[in-house]
Chains A and B, each alone.
Chain A
């Protein structure tokens, strides 16, 4: 469904990705692992059109997305929960959700299952987004992306800055989302957690894909374990 081929991205004079290739199948779930600065965020930003790659192709159902503006990529069915969540701080929780459904005419049918996955949001609808705690804010960011009914959801470090309880809740939510048929591309430093949710993984280092394989294999791989999974 999504196929990234030889993606090369530079930030000004600094190279960030040196030919990254990966693919996500229909209903698939893929983890993008690696340390800080490995190129996870850059890969996601290139896919959703926030930065323009120097070369390479991003094929979405056979069509190249390179060069399209982010709004067109959103319209094509790719949702992105960016690093730092990207909430609109001075809009209410409800307004943030409405923004998530910007491209849709009627989203009321989806509210029940969204609130089922994220019950805490229901009690916070009238609150300004900047008053939410870190965990709640992350729930809102994911819920907002989901309500746009993406075919593929890009998630950038959803557990960053969260305590273990909220981290567990976020990953539980991701499992539920996967079951609804949405494909996931999950960038995470927390490799074990990510590989619990995802079926396949890529390990990035300094802008290169170093290893890739089924989650089970990556978890057991000695090399991966030593370098990226911390023991």
Chain B
């Protein structure tokens, strides 16, 4: 029974990891914890669902949703966060909390609160892996995760703009002195993190039901994954997600499913108490 638990856990963990990647990246590059991340993704996932109902093919709906997510991320930074540039980080966090409520209200208002079934990209019976059944959606999630990580890595390490983004994270003023348009970097960071969260949301939706509360727990778990990784390391975010997903599945199976969701919250407390730099993170010393 261990292998299906492991793969299912890794797949859930992949979803948490994708959410965590966006959260950690925004936290590092923009200095804000985006509480609206999940709702932004959910809103766009509803949009994809709407397009599917109109008869769009799955691929088209997903591409349109990801484009919409990038646009939404960019618009949120431009329209909502940038006017507060220079305010305290807490003010920015409160703006994102406001956005969370507005988007959640909009989703409920437009698409209703009844649970919907989001069709999987590949339907069919579970695949057999060494005689154990494995869900197709889980394999898809793992595949998309690997692909996203490769694309993100390629962007950050092999493009000029990616290099500028990494530089801007470390010293935004210096990057500007060298000619980097910081607003472009910020806009791209928001677009990127919204796209990652939307990927997570669209991949996760077929495993559960699409409701306006779907992302609530996913975002908490994405946050946990980030904390496990130290909230400053991108590989840490992915590994934190994987660790959480697998542990959660094991706890659900061997202990009780009731503990599954509390585990994430318990882990946050535990990590912050015992190892605040996370599993992979480095200790951060701040010069004052």
Choose among B160, B174, B181, B182 the residue that contacts A88 (Cβ–Cβ < 8 A): B174
Report the nearest A residue to B182, measured CB to CB.
Answer: A71
Report the interface size class on chain A.
20 to 34
Asked if A69 contacts B164 (CB within 8 A), the reply is no
Q: Does A40 contact B (CB under 8 A)?
A: no
Chain A residues whose C-beta falls within 8 Å of the C-beta of B140 in the assembled complex: none
Shortest 6 CB-CB contacts between residues of A and residues of B: A86-B174, A74-B179, A103-B179, A70-B176, A88-B170, A88-B167
Interface contact A50-B179, CB-CB below 8 Å: no
Binding site for B on A (CB under 8 A): 48, 50, 69-71, 74-75, 79-80, 82, 86-91, 95, 98-100, 102-103, 144, 148
Choose one: B163, B173, B182; the contact of A50 (CB below 8 Å): B173
Contact assessment for A89 and B163 in the assembled complex, using a CB-CB cutoff below 8 Å: no
Asked whether, in the complex, the Cβ of B177 is within 8 Å of the Cβ of A70, the reply is: yes
B157 nearest CB neighbor, chain A only: A95
Q: Smallest CB–CB gap between A149 and chain B, Å?
A: 11
B180 x A71 contact (CB < 8 A): yes
Known contacts: A95-B163, A98-B163, A99-B164. The answer to whether A74 contacts B170 by CB under 8 A is no
Interface size on B, residues (CB 8 A): 17
Output the least CB separation between B180 and chain A (Å).
6
Is there an interface contact between B167 and A74, defined as CB atoms closer than 8 Å?
Answer: no
In the complex, whether B166 has a CB less than 8 A from a CB of chain A is yes
Residues of A close to B164: CB separation below 8 A: 99, 102
- Give A70 to B178 CA distance when docked, in angstroms: 8
**Cβ contacts under 8 Å, A86 to chain B:** 171, 173-174, 177
Q: Known interface pairs A91-B166, A91-B167. Does A102 touch B179 (Cβ–Cβ under 8 Å)?
A: yes
> Most chain-B Cβ atoms within 10 A of its Cβ — which of A69, A86, A89, A95?
A86
Taking CB atoms, residues of chain A closer than 8 Å to B181 are 71
Inter-chain CA distance A144–B174, complex, in Å, is: 11
In the complex the two chains form, is B176's CB within 8 Å of A69's CB? yes
Known contacts A95-B163, A99-B163; is A75 also within 8 Å of B171 by CB? Answer: no
Q: How far in angstroms is the closest Cβ of chain A from B137?
A: 37
B167 lies within 8 A of A148 (CB)? no
Taking a contact as CB atoms under 8 Å apart, the answer to whether B167 and A80 are in contact is no
Q: List residues of B (31-59) whose CB comes within 8 Å of A's CBs.
A: none
Cα separation A87 to B167 with both chains bound (whole Å): 9
Q: List residues of B (141-179) whose CB comes within 8 Å of A's CBs.
A: 160, 163-164, 166-167, 170-171, 173-179
Cβ-defined partner of A70 (8 Å) among B160, B163, B171, B173: B173
